[in-house]
Each structure stands twice: as structure tokens, then as C-alpha cells.
Amino acid sequence: MRNRVAAQRQMSICNQFGVAGPSPAPLLSRKFHPVRTPKQFLRDLVRPAAPPADEKPADFFPQVFFTPRALRDHEALTKKRGRQLCTLITRMKDGEPDSLVTPYGNLQPEFLARISCPEVACYIERKYLEQHAGYLIDHVPLPNDPPGTRTPNFAITLALPWPPGATASDPGLLRISMAKLGRMHPELMIDAAAMDAMGPILGAVYHMLLADANPALCVAIEPDLIVSAFSADIDCVVLLRFPSEIARQLVIEQNLKPGRRLISLNSYRDDEHMAADLKPGPKYSAWKNYNPYIAEFLADDTERLAKLHADMPDWAWQRCKELTVAAVKTKPVKCRDGRPLRSVNPAK
């Protein structure tokens, strides 16, 4: 009964995000006995204890993401077992993704490919390498867990689909920092919110990997941190204000000053009407609203960020600056909430 209820909740998450979910089959975590038997001990003597030191992912995609609570469980289980544990992305009988935690020595490397995840050695069958853009692994409370508690190692694995239609001309290709996302939205990272949080986390992961790179500028750092995010498709900017408790940390970490160049990763919406706070410019081409994520505030990959800056054309920086100057002269100045899950909402 508990597994059926959990699967139904998982299906609800998948429907909210717009991806196919698994059938309501049990998604039990794999638990290991804390003490090895003599047979296991002898077997493990001849099996490799860890992946080769020079082993690298087969390609950038697919990417595997662990929520902080899932990663804590994995680390605790690794310590309990006393050896390195890997994660194998598997398939259930209906073809939907699942994941299995196992010692490296149990794997058959000739049939598997290493896939991208900096925290945990992850593998997948070679025939599934290109099926999805990535996977999110979260550990969620059991339906009967008391409120605010979570039984460890109840895993749910969701697939990150490839874009179904138009794709970004300059995708971010950035791994989201769960710590930075948690700073923006701490409500996603508390154990009690795990099941409800999976959809928003999956959406943020997807956005950072595949949304379109555009210029952004730091407008002000006091009394408020305000950033201007440009959209080339709509030929406009939105102003984003960040809460003071987050802003102080961002200003220090990023050495922010007015005029500092940043990157906005934009996803788009084709609503019935243009968002009330947008003023499309003469070079408007498509869309009615956009959701800007400031990449530096949500990612740690400085090398990729530098590449996005270097590839941004001069005309885009210049147009962003022109529209930003005009926006701050408009009174009263209206700003959206800069936090990523709220920045799609028009300023009021």
C-alpha cells in the first residue's frame, strides 16, 4: 500500500513537470546488510574496489543529479559498507528509469558507460546512453513517515527529457549547484518537502542545462541587488531584485558592482497575452514571457561560464545596456523577484 501511494505521488510530480512518469510499481531502495558474509568477503578480494582513476564519462549527456538529502543517504550508506558505492541507472519492467546502488565490483563494465556526475560514480547501459538528457535521484519520505521525518534510502528516479520542440540556440549546458539553488529556495531542500520539491528541482536542473544564454547586467548592489536580464527574442529586459539576505552573499561571492556583466539563461512562454511588465522592442521575434535564471548565482562551473561570456556577441551586450538604461529611468522602477522559481512572474 505504501509503495502504491508513493508511486501515485510520483506520477503527480511527473505530470506537473510534463514528463512521462513510471507506472505505479514499487520503487524500493536497495539496502545492504551491514556485515559481509565469508562468501562476500572472498568475492570482494578479487573484484575491483573502485572505478579506474582515469575513467571519464562517455559524453556530456546524460547528466545525473542527486538532491542533497539523496547524497547524504548515499554517503552514509558508503560509510556503513566501508567501500565505494556506485549508482547504476536501470530500467523497470515498463521501461521507466530506476536506480540501483551497488559496489563497483558488482558491475559489468563491458556493458556499461560512465555518465556525468561529479559526486557519485554513475553508470548506465550503453544502449540507453542517448535516451534522456539526464536523471534526478531524490530520496523522499515514505507515506507513513511522521510529519517532518524521512526514512533514509527510499529512492525515486526521474528522467530529464530532451526538449520536445524548439531548442535554444545557445544552451547553458551548466550543472545546477544544489547548494546555490537551496540558498534561493530553502523550502526545496527540507526533508518534509521532498516529494513536492522534485518537480521544481527537476525544472531548475533542466533550465540550467538547456535554456538559452543571453546577456545580463548588474544594475545596483545597494540598497537592493538588482540585475537586468535581456531577451534577444523579445528585445527587452526585465529587472530582477534579490532578497537582502541572499543579496549580501551574492555581492561578496561574485564581487558584484554596477555594470558587471552576467549571463541570463532564459526559457520562454507563449502565453495568450504579452506579460504586463514587458515592452517588446523593434527586433521582437517571438514569445510572450520569459523566465530568466542568473547563471552565476546558480552554477559553479567557472570555465563554462567564461565560455558563455566569450561567445556572447558585442551587439547583445550593447543592446542589453541600452534597454537597461531606459528601464531604470522609467518611474516607478518595477522589479521581478529574482529567485529562479519566481522570476517568470511579472512585476507588480
Mean pLDDT rounded to a whole number for the chain: 87
Distances in Å between the Cα of 111 and the Cα atoms of 124, 125, 129 are 9, 6, 11
DSSP assigned state of 62: S
pTM: 0.85
Sequential DSSP letters for 148-178: T---TT-EEEEEEPPPSS---SSB---PBPH
pLDDT at residue 16 is higher than 70: no
Give yes or no for residue 193 having a pLDDT over 50.
yes
* Sequence-ordered list of residues with C-beta below 8 angstroms from that of 319, at least 6 positions apart, any chain: 215, 230, 232, 235
Is 77 a residue whose pLDDT tops 70? yes
What structural domains does the chain harbor?
A: 2-162 (2.60.300.12), 211-337 (2.40.410.10)
- Residue 10 CB contacts under 8 Å (≥ 6 apart), including other chains: 21, 22, 27, 156, 158, 195, 198
Give one word for 224, left, alpha or beta, with left for phi > 0 and alpha for psi -120 to 50: beta
128 phi/psi in degrees, rounded to 5: -105, 5
Over the stretch 103-140, which tens digit does the pLDDT of each residue have? 998 888 889 999 999 999 999 999 999 999 999 999 88
User: Can you give the pLDDT at residue 95?
Assistant: 87
C-beta atoms surrounding 244 within 10 Å: 11
Reported confidence tier of residue 146, pLDDT bands at 50, 70, 90: confident
pLDDT for 210 equals 96
Interstrand relation of 112-115 and 63-66 (parallel, antiparallel or unpaired): unpaired
pLDDT band per the 50, 70, 90 thresholds, residue 44: low
Contact 292, 311 (CB under 8 A): no
pLDDT, tens only, 46-70 = 677 788 889 999 899 999 999 999 9
Residue 20 has pLDDT above 60, yes or no: no
